Amino acid sequence: MTDGERRAIEMVEAAETGGRKLGGWQRGLVTLVAVAWCLYQMYAAQVGNIDTLTLRATHLGFAFFLAYLVFPHRKTPGQPQTRVPWYDWILGIGATGTAAYLIAQYPSIANEQGGLLTGTDVWVGSGMIVLLLLAAWRTIGIAMPIVAGVFMLYALTGPKGLIRGDLGPQLQLHAGQTWPQVVGQLFANTEGIFGTAIGVSAQIVFLFVLFGAIFDKLGAGEWFMRVAQGVLGGFRGGAAKASILSSALNGVISGSAVSNVVTGGNITIGTMVRTGYSREKAGAIEVASSSNGQLMPPVMGAAAFIMAQNLNIEYRSLILAAAIPAFLCYGTLLVLAHIEALKLGLKGLPKSELPPVRRTLLSGWYYMLPLGYLIGTLTINPEATPERVALNTIFVMLVMMFVQEAILANRDGRGVGRGLLDGGKKIIEAFEGGARSMIGIAIATAAAGIIVGIVTITGLGFGLADIVQLASDGVRNAFAFAGPQVATFASIVMVLLMAQLIALILGMGLPTTANYILMSALIVPIIAKIAGLDPTNPAQMLPVHMFVFYFGIMADSTPPVALAAFAAAAISGGNPVATGVQAFQYELRTALLAYMMFFNPQLLLIANGRLGGVTWTEAIPMILFAFIGLVAFSAATLRFLHRRTNSLQALLLLVAALILIIPTHILWNLAALALIAAVYFWQKAGSRAEPPAEPPAALA
């Protein structure tokens, strides 16, 4: 393992699973608690009748305890802490105690006290809020605690609030809340910390994260990598294309861009550099492909489950709708990698370095059994719940783990008993890894509940909507000379641009799931109001939710934060900021796709006002036009198609791509295709007069 790979792994551990390297009994305790958390969540899914608040509070209690044990307050790169300091024991036990107190007292609060809090309740609730913000600071960064703190200050500000003041008629939509009222809203009901977001985390997300951890420990991730190399490695720019395909396959089971970078990047980035890609381009391709893994159903960075709850639709409907855009995104990225290979004059990997496809497929074909069952049951069986399907798949993989390790040990001469022991050890490691990966998600969803609860109690969303409405009306009036349709279109685009900017800014400091929760609570209703959408109609609202979700994912590769880019740069040895800038350029196609989905809901299989209303005869030409538009846009932004484009050629490609954003008459689509073809043949004719490009120095 190189120093860069080691730094990248430490970066992921510090960011997502905790940076402490504990030993002795402390390490054993962490493992025990993590395994207990997994078993509890599996038990809850099995019985299915645990009280809502009890399940959510227990979920947060486990996350609290592990957060303070494995996430240090001060992170020193290269110097991981090896023990838990005394004050973190106090904070961890105290935070978990607040969750236990609520479980014990909630029946009394709800029934005997009529929802009113006693003095003790307020003190304990206040402690939970403070400890939650501190845990969020450790696990997901300072951005969420700051945003949550600002929202709580807003709730307390007003003529009758704890903080006297007037914020003006546009924003002061409430008289002001007292601190006990705020604590009651956030702590003692299911509209604050213990709202929908953490409910989905506890009920569904945990099981899918655990599924991914076991699936990877089983060896599926490595198998995906070898299959991708064997299938695409021999083509032009094959190292990059193999990286993209393996990230797409891993994205099916993983919800983390940063861990995807480290899991696949320690192999693919070095291969890309060796075959001629610059260190920054190699890292950027890995960042773009790993970030887009969160777009791949069925996991989708854990936000898919919350989105389905927000829209009140079946989960299967959501993942079917999200499939076409995800494949478009990866298909375009493959073309983009091909364009970069053309620019650099690269070849494919030598056949001697490629895994044999047939043998590789046969060596791990059984990995597709649990994955096929999971995806097939979710998409075909309307009566199957996501949590039940995930639980059944976990049981299947646990059996597979023991059988696989027993066969391998018997083949190696170590004996079946030794293989069963190895299988049990790997299962415990998978349980611990899955639980540690869930800490940040559980804390993030709970902390996001603070913002959602404050929006609910204050009506802040209405004030923000009024402000955006004023800006929208101004744009509409400015374009009134062009007619009502153009004016309305311009005002909607303005609102979308504002939403895009907010999502990117928030995403620099928030994980994708927390970013989506905030955007869905604050910005989605505003877009719906400006665009005249029915907020109760899932078919109209799904494109809006997907729009903000896609831009939240783009934030993973947006400088200056871009943790995924820093992880890739640590492996490649390139400049992290330059890697992030290059990755953002590659991700511009994701931005265009978000606009395509908004203005062309058929890409989400929406037609005639309902989900799934698109037939395949309608879908196929629509997908082709969208794909060609995305390719043209990528070629324009990279300034290369068959060869380097001049300014006029790039402009023609960009115009063609923009025409294909919005579904119009077939003649307009054909005109866009004609523009792209004209540029291609223009370049092809010009290239005949030029000598072939010199190969890059790395290959000479």
Per-residue pLDDT band for 697 (boundaries 50, 70, 90) equals very low
The answer to whether the Cα torsion of 507, 314, 433, 246 is positive or negative is negative
- In this structure, what token pair is assigned to residue 113? 């006290």
Q: Degrees (nearest 5) of the Cα angle 419, 421, 423?
A: 70
Kind plus residue range of the DSSP H or E element containing 606:
strand 606-607
- CA dist 334 and 245 (Å) reads 8
Per-residue pLDDT band for 700 (boundaries 50, 70, 90) equals very low
Burial 273-289 (b: 16+ CB within 10 A, else e): bebbbbbbbbbbbbbbb
Domain boundary among 167, 189, 211: 189
Q: What are phi and psi of 23, to 5 degrees?
A: -135, 175
Q: What is the pLDDT of residue 699?
A: 43
Q: What are phi and psi of 617, to 5 degrees?
A: -65, -30
Tell whether 474 is covered by a domain: no
pLDDT in tens, 358-371: 999 999 999 999 98
- Checking if the pLDDT of 544 tops 70, the result is yes
Tell whether 554 is covered by a domain: no
Per-residue pLDDT band for 168 (boundaries 50, 70, 90) equals low
- Checking if the pLDDT of 38 tops 90, the result is yes
- In this structure, what token pair is assigned to residue 162? 């704890």
- Least confident range from 130-134, 197-201, 509-513: namely 509-513
- In this structure, what token pair is assigned to residue 388? 């039940």
Q: Are residues 274 and 332 in the same domain?
A: yes
- CA dist 544 and 376 (Å) reads 27
- Least confident range from 6-20, 107-121, 496-510, 586-600: namely 6-20
- CA dist 181 and 453 (Å) reads 11
Domain span including residue 263: 198-429
Q: Are residues 206 and 159 in the same domain?
A: no
pLDDT in tens, 393-449: 999 999 999 999 999 999 888 889 999 999 999 999 999 999 998 998 999 999 999
How much of the chain, in percent, has pLDDT values that exceed 90?
Answer: 35
Burial 537-551 (b: 16+ CB within 10 A, else e): ebbbbbbbbbbbbbb
Q: Closest Cα partner for 472 from 544, 530, 525?
A: 530
Q: In one letter, which amino acid is 556?
A: D
Residue with tokens 């303005």: 494
Higher pLDDT, 532 or 563: 532
Q: What is the pLDDT of residue 642?
A: 79
Q: Are residues 82 and 172 in the same domain?
A: yes
Q: Are residues 202 and 320 in the same domain?
A: yes
Domain boundary among 152, 169, 189: 189
Q: What is the pLDDT of residue 584?
A: 87
Q: What is the pLDDT of residue 698?
A: 42
Q: Are residues 220 and 177 in the same domain?
A: no
Q: What is the pLDDT of residue 78?
A: 60
- Checking if the pLDDT of 169 tops 80, the result is no
For residue 644, the cross-strand partners are 640
Question: Any idea what DSSP says for residue 157?
Answer: B
What count of other Cβ atoms lies within 10 Å of the Cβ of residue 149? 13
In angstroms, the Cα distances linking 85 to 82, 134, 261 are 10, 16, 31
Higher pLDDT, 639 or 460: 639
Tell whether 549 is covered by a domain: no
Tell whether 464 is covered by a domain: no
Q: What is the pLDDT of residue 170?
A: 56
Q: In one letter, which amino acid is 4?
A: G
Q: Are residues 358 and 215 in the same domain?
A: yes
Per-residue pLDDT band for 63 (boundaries 50, 70, 90) equals very high
Tell whether 388 is covered by a domain: yes
The backbone region for 345, taken as left when phi is positive above 0, alpha when psi lies in -120 to 50, beta otherwise, is left
Q: Are residues 161 and 276 in the same domain?
A: no
Q: Are residues 182 and 203 in the same domain?
A: no
In angstroms, the Cα distances linking 116 to 109, 122, 189 are 7, 10, 11
Q: Are residues 185 and 100 in the same domain?
A: yes
Q: Are residues 212 and 240 in the same domain?
A: yes
Mean pLDDT in residue range 10-36: 82
Listed in sequence order, the residues at least 6 apart from 530 whose beta carbon sits closer than 8 Å to its beta carbon are: 468, 469, 472, 491, 492, 495
Helix (H, G, I), strand (E, B) or coil at 73: coil
Q: Are residues 228 and 175 in the same domain?
A: no
Domain boundary among 429, 461, 493: 429
The number of domains in the chain is: 3
The backbone region for 643, taken as left when phi is positive above 0, alpha when psi lies in -120 to 50, beta otherwise, is beta
Tell whether 544 is covered by a domain: no
How much of the chain, in percent, has pLDDT values that exceed 70?
Answer: 90
Which contacts (CB < 8 Å, 24+ apart) does range 677-681 have? 678/652, 679/641, 679/645, 679/649, 679/652, 679/653, 680/641, 680/642
pLDDT in tens, 448-502: 999 989 988 887 776 777 778 788 888 888 888 888 888 888 888 888 988 888 8
Tell whether 62 is covered by a domain: yes
Q: What are phi and psi of 589, to 5 degrees?
A: -65, -30
- CA dist 686 and 548 (Å) reads 42
Tell whether 633 is covered by a domain: yes
- Checking if the pLDDT of 50 tops 70, the result is yes
- CA dist 372 and 74 (Å) reads 43
- CA dist 622 and 273 (Å) reads 36
Residue with tokens 């073309």: 335
Listed in sequence order, the residues at least 6 apart from 301 whose beta carbon sits closer than 8 Å to its beta carbon are: 255, 256, 257, 294, 512, 513, 553
Q: Are residues 289 and 389 in the same domain?
A: yes
pLDDT in tens, 258-295: 777 877 777 788 889 888 888 999 999 988 888 888 88
What does pLDDT average to over the chain? 86
pLDDT in tens, 319-349: 888 889 999 999 999 999 999 888 888 888 8
